[in-house]
Structure 1
Amino acid sequence: MNIEPYIAQLLYRYQCVTVPGFGAFLTEIQSAQLIESSNSFFPPKKMISFNAYLKNNDGLLANHIAQAEKTSYEYAISAIQYEVFNWKKALQENGLFSIKNVGNFSLNADKNLIFTPFDQTNYLTNSFGLSTFVSPMVKREIFEQKIEALEENIQEEDVIALIPERRNSSKYLKYAAIFVLGLGVAGTIGYPIYQEQIASETILVQQSVQKQVQHKIQEATFFIKSPIPAVTLTIKEEKMSYHIMAGAFREEKNAQKTFRELSNLGYKARRIPQNKYGLFPVLYGSYATLPEAEKAKQEIQKSTNPDAWILVESL
């Protein structure tokens, strides 16, 4: 059985995909980039890295294979072990091997495992349909040259021919200026008189309205026939989308035991419902942002569990 396609499928959905007995593929979201030297735009993407020390089976890959192949969990584990055996054998004999759409593995001079990810596949689902874009450089010099060429083509007689028209129009401008000046003088005299008249009429109207309002207030009797219903405020809880996974157990009693132990150690531990693989997950805690979860994960890996990883899911 070829397990490579199943690894690629899980990288779209999870931040950590562990291959038992071999290592774990980790993903990190990289923001969109602009390279000015080449006018290239790159969409946000998931960067893949590999950690050879995370080898413990978390059940994710095996359960995914068992469901996709409609086989047992034990058979999926055997298939993974056989594939890992072939990978290690290829490294010993050839010094390298590839996982399709994920990356290449090789050994350096010190026999250390080197991972080189493929850049062609973007595992960030939010960037689906976005591709690298190269923008042509805007050349403004061409437009400036065209403008200069147009200015040079204007003949001297065309400029001179415009001068008489300007002189003829000056007569009409003279009369128009006198007319506008007259309007300004009339407006200066009449406007204050008009403003005083409007102000006096406004005061009279306001006084009349005030008298009517006071009269109505004195005569009014107020009854509330149907009281306004009480307002119910609903406070929306902030969703915690980042969770540090402590483990997923086939037996519920083991999950409950781990939950109690973590709670006694001071963690805000959680148990989430049984997943579609038949496992009972237990969390160290949940966080609203990725930086908070990363910080907590690093502390847990140093002090308690080196294999702790982050689950990204709205619970």
Structure 2
Amino acid sequence: MQLETYISDLLYRYECVTIPEFGAFLTQRVSATIHETTNAFYPPNKMVSFNEQIQKNDGLLAHYIADVEKIPFEIANKKIAKRVKVLKSYLTQGETLTFKNIGDIVFNSEGKILFEPSNHLNYLTDSFGLSQFVSPAVAREVYREEVEKIEKVVPITVTPEKRKTRPYLKYAAVALVALTLGGLVGSNYYINQIEQHNQLAQEEATQQLDTKIQQATFNLNPLPAINLNVTKQTGNYHIIAGAFRVEENCDKKISQLKAEGFKARKIGVNRYGLHEVVYASYEDRIEALQALRAIKKTHDKAAWLSVKELN
């Protein structure tokens, strides 16, 4: 069984693909980057990592293998368990596990798992068709401007002899001052006229509005009261339908189950950071077990019972 092929297919669509009793491959979106040394441009992608602490079977990998190979869900789980046993034996013997297009896994000197991701595939579907490229560095010329500080300002002087030959300068200056004062007075008068006109127009508009409000009548018909009967699910016995890394997939699962008649809902995030969806919750343990047997028989053999108190 080419386990890495199935994992690679799922990494395009999911952020967490768990190998039961072995670990989980996680993906995280990374923005486009530029290598400062090589001037290489890299498109947005999904960075793949490995977490050996996440080993609980969420059914995702087994369901996918069962669908592809057209085999029962239990047989798919057994094939995964058999493959995991072989992988663990290779690791204990000091060999490196190579997952094609995903990365390499090996034990270090302290007995801990080390994962080296492969960059051969970009699992971000939004970047389909985008590849890295190298652009030559852009050379920019820097121009320096030297600013000279003027320390002395040379005034313009008029000698007495020139004042005698140009007497019209004095009269021109007097005329300029007179025109300036006249312009200021006229401008102030014009502005005052505009402000007075605007004030009168505003007072007239306000008076007309008050008259219309006094003449207006309001007929408010009270709406009939609506009584909503909301049934709140309680209980510490929960039949789990699935756990999802992406909350959007969790909402889709709830809508699907509600359409099939189940009282599906979210019960929060588990310790692995996955959103859990339940078929229903029950107060009585016997009633919950009876419902679980019915769901396993008619709907999903991978359903299981979780006992915990919700806040």
Conserved? CA contact 1:16–1:309, under 8 Å: no
How many residue pairs match? The answer is: 223
Alignment partner of 1:13: what SS? coil
Instruction: Tell me how far 1:203 sits from its aligned partner.
Output: 6.0
How does 1:239-278 map onto structure 2 within 5 Å? 257-258=237-238, 273=254
Letter in 2 for 1:66: A
**Within the alignment, does 1:285 sit opposite 2:285 as a pair?**
no
After TM superposition, the score normalised by the length of structure 1 is 0.51
Aligned to 2:26: 26
1:10–1:281 Cα change, 3 Å: farther
Letter in 1 for 2:66: A
Letter in 2 for 1:60: L
The structure richer in helix per residue is 1
Q: Gaps spanning 5+ residues in structure 1: where?
A: 145-177, 231-254, 261-269, 287-296, 301-307
Instruction: Tell me how far 1:7 sits from its aligned partner.
Output: 0.8
Aligned to 2:39: 39
Letter in 1 for 2:183: Y
Distance in 2, matches of 1:78 and 1:196, equals: 95
After TM superposition, the score normalised by the length of structure 2 is 0.52
1:140–1:73 Cα change, 3 Å: same
Conserved? CA contact 1:6–1:64, under 8 Å: yes
Conserved? CA contact 2:28–2:47, under 8 Å: yes
Conserved? CA contact 1:15–1:312, under 8 Å: no
Conserved? CA contact 1:259–1:282, under 8 Å: no
Instruction: Tell me how far 1:116 sits from its aligned partner.
Output: 1.9
Aligned to 2:288: none
Distance in 1, matches of 2:112 and 2:83, equals: 20
Instruction: Tell me how far 1:63 sits from its aligned partner.
Output: 1.3
The alignment-based identity, stated in percent, is 34
How does 1:122-201 map onto structure 2 within 5 Å? 122-140=122-140, 185=176, 188=180, 190-199=182-191, 201=193
Match of 2:214 among 219, 222, 228: 222
Bigger shift: residues 47-56 or 196-205: 196-205
Aligned to 2:247: none
Instruction: Tell me how far 1:274 sits from its aligned partner.
Output: 8.1
**Within the alignment, does 1:14 sit opposite 2:6 as a pair?**
no
1:208–1:310 Cα change, 3 Å: closer
Q: Gaps spanning 5+ residues in structure 2: where?
A: 144-168, 223-234, 241-249, 278-311
Distance in 1, matches of 2:33 and 2:14, equals: 23
Distance in 1, matches of 2:180 and 2:199, equals: 30
Letter in 2 for 1:138: V
Letter in 2 for 1:257: Y
1:23–1:194 Cα change, 3 Å: same
Instruction: Tell me how far 1:5 sits from its aligned partner.
Output: 2.3
**Within the alignment, does 1:52 sit opposite 2:52 as a pair?**
yes
Alignment partner of 2:98: what SS? strand
Instruction: Tell me how far 1:108 sits from its aligned partner.
Output: 4.8
Alignment partner of 2:136: what SS? coil
Distance in 1, matches of 2:2 and 2:197, equals: 90
Distance in 2, matches of 1:119 and 1:215, equals: 75
Deviation string, structure 1 residues 6-62 (Cα, Å, up to 9, x no partner): 211222333321112332212334454443233334344332222334333221111
Instruction: Tell me how far 1:222 sits from its aligned partner.
Output: 2.6
Instruction: Tell me how far 1:206 sits from its aligned partner.
Output: 4.9
Distance in 2, matches of 1:9 and 1:229, equals: 60
